[in-house]
Amino acid sequence: MMPLLTTAVALPLLAAVVVGLVPARAARAPRALALVTSALVLGALIATWARFDAGAGMQLVEEATWIPSIDVAWRLGVDGMSLALSLMTAVVFLPAILYGVGRRPLSRAAAALLLLLEGATLAFFLAQDFFLFYVAFDVTLVAMYFLIALWGEEQRRYAALKFFLYTLIGSLPVLIGIIVLFLQAEPNTFDMIRLASEQPLAGAGVGASLTFLAFFVGFAIKTPIVPFHTWLPAAHVQAPTAGSVLLAGVLLKMGTYGLVRVNLQMLPDAFAQYALPIAILGLFSALYGALVALAQSDFKRLVAYTSVNHMGYVVIGVAAAAAPGISASARDLAIDGAVLQMIAHGLVTAALFFAAGFILTRAKTRNLDELSGLMRPMPVYGTLTAVAMFASLGLPGLAQFPAELQIFLGTFDVYPAIAVTALLGLVVTAALFLLALQRAFLGETSDRWAGLRDLGARELGALVPLIALTVILGVYPRLALDLISAGSWL
Amino acid sequence: MDMLEETLAMEDRMLAELVWLAPIGALVLGAIVAILMALFVARGRQGLVGAWVALAHLAAAGLVVAIWLTRGPARVMEGTVSMDGLALAVIGLIAVAGAVVVALARPVVAGTDREGEFYAVLTAANLGAAVLVAAADIALVAIALGMLSLTSFVLTGYLRSSAAGNEASIKYYIYGTVAGGSMMFGFSWWFGLTGETGLDAIGQSLPQAPTAALIASTALVVLGLGYKAALVPFHFWTPDVYAGAPLPVAAYLSVLPKIAGLVALARVLPLALPGDAAGWSTALAVIAAATMTLGNLAALWQRDVVRLLAYSSIAQSGYLLMGVAALSASAEGLPALVYYAIAYTASNLAAFAVVLAVQRERGSVDLAAFAGLGRAHPWWTAALILAFLSLLGLPPLSGFVGKLGVFTAAIDSGLAWLAVVAVINTVISLFPYLRVIAPTVLDSGEEQPAARPAGAPLAAALAIAAIATVAIGLVAEPLLTLAESATMLAS
């Protein structure tokens, strides 16, 4: 059987090296190579899906010796969460590469960095070995640093540095946590599957708590959870369009994925202790993100803060699932919802950041107060963006609705007050998106904007698949929920 | 008759034991022949001497491998020399890195008067370092350290026309003799307390000595070796000496003498003070924390990349010392130290090699000289970025595997607080390292004509160091296995 997971990770990494060796004369080659590679990656993951047995938990593990003396191995495997997030990653990378960063056609350096980032994020979601997990975590950091610093907007260097710094501050406690788990396992290992089943720190008081908090801080910065979020607006706003798309669409999920994979699966006892405060932090993030987004007039900043809001729901769901006394069915409901929310948010936010990028290249502004009546000159753009906004505010029939619904239902079992309060966030996001639509898309079209041309083929190619998947998942969420099936691996 | 037979048997045994000294012998031979060659080879062809000593270094490395494979470790010369896994691994490192340093130095010393002697002195310095890491007797430690120090002073002041070099040499010399003298005083105190010079024998009775004498004498010993390793508070010489010395010498001082000093600490303290007598573990942990913190904080303000690398190398000493501090309570300490030493040597030599190439082409090592390097020299820039990210400790580079090792050792030995300090330091160190990396790709520099092309030896040294920086991180197993077997041999 072909090692599909290894292929999905290794192919982009290999292509990143190959693209550096392409002669400079072949100007179109980097983009073509990157696109073909990421299409093949998506193919490999869809083929994995075909082989996948949703009820069987962790499976299709591919293992190869790497550093046996400390039990590090090339271990890749999938359960519902890993596979769903990997698929979403592969889906979001295609339009990001299609749209590209920097000058056109895509330069060799840009193509190499995008492919490096794709390989590393997939390695992160598929890794079942902590060494590989950490390597992938930090490689995404370096690749994204250069994407922001080289092709970002005016304050790109400041934003890139801030992103590097915060992520490094987050990744090092994770490293310490990994070392503690490694040392506590008997015999010592970096094998995440073993660590999840043996739980070497089960019930161990202060040590387990500190380890839990080390992991939590790292993943909280990545997610980001308020008050660890201050890097996010800078990085998202200053990054090039495709960079914001990948940052919000894919990289933020690394935080919540870690929260489930490590904190929940390997340290459930410690998580039970902290479930309530973390749920409250999640609630605070959701409300704070929504309220701050309400005050934004920059389209990109607005979307960036709604990410804080949406990721807050994920945190609430994960914390509820960890709470002592939650019923098994509510727990599965909450985690299914949290993972679906990660997928939905990945697609929807990617679409919204594209929308923000598209309008900037045309109107030279993203200020929603300046823009008006865009629907008239750009009906296709307006419609697709409106769908993305409706999805983001949680309209039924679009992807985020079933996700948020499940999170609220699951949470209601243990923290009814938090679940109910979180609904307030929905009201605020509904208000802010409707206001944005009204300000920028409806109303009179000023002369300034009358001449804007609608989306071209490349832009449609980037946006339409994301919107289509948002609708499909909204109408038929079981497509993803059957795959995720948290009950089989939690 | 019995006496005679005994003497003969002893001589036989020592003759047989000479096999273990072969790597050291290769360096001795290398140095002697180099001096003779320097006398007789025409001035324009003194590069031959360099080729010869590089070969002698590689031969020493080959002999290390041969001994490891055929004989295994042994205590020889009446127990004074311990050719154990630790010594063999580090002598192997000294031999290979020594050859790389010869290649780094060649473009700088080529054509100067006494070029051949430079190589001879460099070989002698490595001889001192090699003996230092194997010495299991305080007299031998003192001799080896003296030899390493004297030769280092000479190397630092090699370019006689350079005022900065002369000043650096004098400064290094004055600090060095004081530190060396303190160590001698500490050793003589130990000898007075125990009546022994062998480290194992000292370890039998030294811990029972009066506490005040024990602590004071140990502190003096740590001062002497800590000076070589640029540990805080014995680090003051480092930036001035690195900035004043010829760049390849600075590169050399930042790796091999430092590592030899740290390995000597790792041998002397656990043997002479078994367990954690006199509390040396805690003391070293505190020194490690201070060293990394001061090094990283001071590096923040440097615009001169050599001074930045000097402070960075101080900080790196702190990480290395974590391995030594963990020795008393964790079996992970020694392998962590050995692996980190190898990874650090590769990364730091790669960084210095690029800085040297930039200095030769652009005539400056100011941060501004690195602007736009990425466009002009993509390969150098790639090497520079990889080297600095490895020093920062990012995976999958060798520096990361090194840090993973020392962090694990520290946590395993109950020094979790030290690991936390090291984490905070890693974050701080992002700023100086990124200050060098960022302008190479983000700024556009003026197009400059290549004043003095890098040349084949420098390019080779750069390539070797850069490839090693990546390769021993990605394929860490062989070196980790080596580090695991780099144990110390008790008599």
Helix axes of A268-294 and A416-436: crossing angle, nearest 10 degrees: 30
Contacts with A70 from chain B: Cβ below 8 Å: 480
Tell me the residue length of chain A: 490
- Assess contact for B229 and B261: CB atoms under 8 A: yes
Q: What is the per-residue pLDDT for B160?
A: 84
- State pLDDT tens for residues A90-136: 999 999 999 999 888 899 999 999 999 999 999 999 999 999 999 99
CA-nearest residue to A168 within chain B is B427
List b or e across A47-61, with b for residues whose CB sees 16 or more CB atoms inside 10 angstroms: ebbeebebeebbbbe
Q: How far apart are CA A159 and CA B212, in angstroms?
A: 54
Q: What is the per-residue pLDDT for B5?
A: 86
Q: What is the per-residue pLDDT for B491?
A: 57
Average pLDDT in the A32-40 region? 97
The predicted model scores a pTM of 0.94
- Assess contact for B48 and B37: CB atoms under 8 A: yes
**B279: alpha, beta or left? (left if phi > 0; alpha if psi -120 to 50):** left
Distances from the Cα of B431 to the Cαs of A288, B218, B301, B308, B428, in angstroms?
Answer: 31, 36, 10, 11, 6
Q: Which of B423, B431, B443, B487 should we substitute to test contact with A (largest number of A Cβ atoms within 10 Å)?
A: B423
- Assess contact for A351 and A463: CB atoms under 8 A: yes
Q: How far apart are CA A435 and CA A429, in angstroms?
A: 10
Q: What is the per-residue pLDDT for B447?
A: 63
Q: Which of B406, B408, B479, B487 should we substitute to test contact with A (largest number of A Cβ atoms within 10 Å)?
A: B408
Q: What is the per-residue pLDDT for A455?
A: 92
DSSP letter for A225, please.
P
| Position A2 pLDDT exceeds 80 | yes
- State pLDDT tens for residues A175-217: 999 999 999 999 999 999 999 999 999 887 899 999 999 999 9
| Position A389 pLDDT exceeds 80 | yes
From the list B400, B408, B480, which residue is nearest A69 (CB)? B480
Contacts with B426 from chain A: Cβ below 8 Å: 168, 172
Q: What is the per-residue pLDDT for A387?
A: 96
Average pLDDT in the A340-351 region? 97
Q: In a structure prediction context, what are the per-residue pLDDT tens digits for chain B, which is 491 residues long?
A: 578 888 888 888 888 888 999 999 999 999 999 999 999 999 889 999 999 999 999 999 999 999 999 988 889 888 899 999 999 999 999 999 999 999 999 999 998 888 999 999 999 999 999 999 999 999 999 999 999 999 999 999 998 888 888 999 999 999 999 999 999 999 999 999 999 999 999 999 999 999 999 999 999 999 999 999 999 999 989 999 999 999 999 999 999 999 999 999 999 999 999 988 889 999 999 999 999 999 999 999 999 999 999 999 999 999 999 999 999 999 999 999 999 999 999 999 999 999 999 999 888 999 999 999 998 898 999 999 999 999 999 999 999 999 999 999 999 999 999 999 999 999 999 999 999 999 999 988 766 656 666 788 889 999 999 999 999 999 999 888 888 888 887 65
CA–centroid distance for A4 within its chain: 22
- Assess contact for B244 and B164: CB atoms under 8 A: yes
CA-nearest residue to A148 within chain B is B442
DSSP letter for A438, please.
I
Q: Which of A172, A186, A210, A231 should we substitute to test contact with B (largest number of B Cβ atoms within 10 Å)?
A: A172
Q: How large is the ipTM?
A: 0.91
- Give start and end residues of each alpha helix (H) in B229-304: 237-244, 247-272, 280-299
Name the token pair of A362. 């045309």
Q: DSSP strand E in A93-143: where?
A: none
- State pLDDT tens for residues A399-446: 999 999 999 999 999 999 999 999 999 999 999 999 999 989 988 888
Q: What is the per-residue pLDDT for B371?
A: 92
Residue A239, SS3 per DSSP:
coil
Minimal Cα–Cα distance from A67 to chain B, Å? Answer: 5
Average pLDDT in the A150-173 region? 94
What residues of B are in the A interface, CB distance below 8 Å? 389, 394-396, 400, 404, 407-408, 411-412, 419-420, 423, 426-427, 430, 434, 438, 441-442, 476-477, 480-481, 484
Phi, psi of B466 (to 5 degrees): -70, -45
Residue owning tokens 């080896």: B144
Question: Within 10 Å of residue B7's Cβ, how many Cβ atoms?
Answer: 10
Minimal Cα–Cα distance from A172 to chain B, Å? Answer: 6
Mean pLDDT, chain A, whole residue set: 95
Contact between chains at B438 and A149 (C-beta distance less than 8 A): yes
Q: What is the per-residue pLDDT for B448?
A: 62
Q: What is the per-residue pLDDT for B444?
A: 82
Distances from the Cα of A272 to the Cαs of A226, A265, A412, in angstroms?
Answer: 20, 11, 16
Residue owning tokens 């607080």: B417
Strand partners, A72: A67
> How far is it between the farthest Cα atoms of chain B?
83
Contacts with A134 from chain B: Cβ below 8 Å: 395
Phi, psi of A64 (to 5 degrees): -140, 145
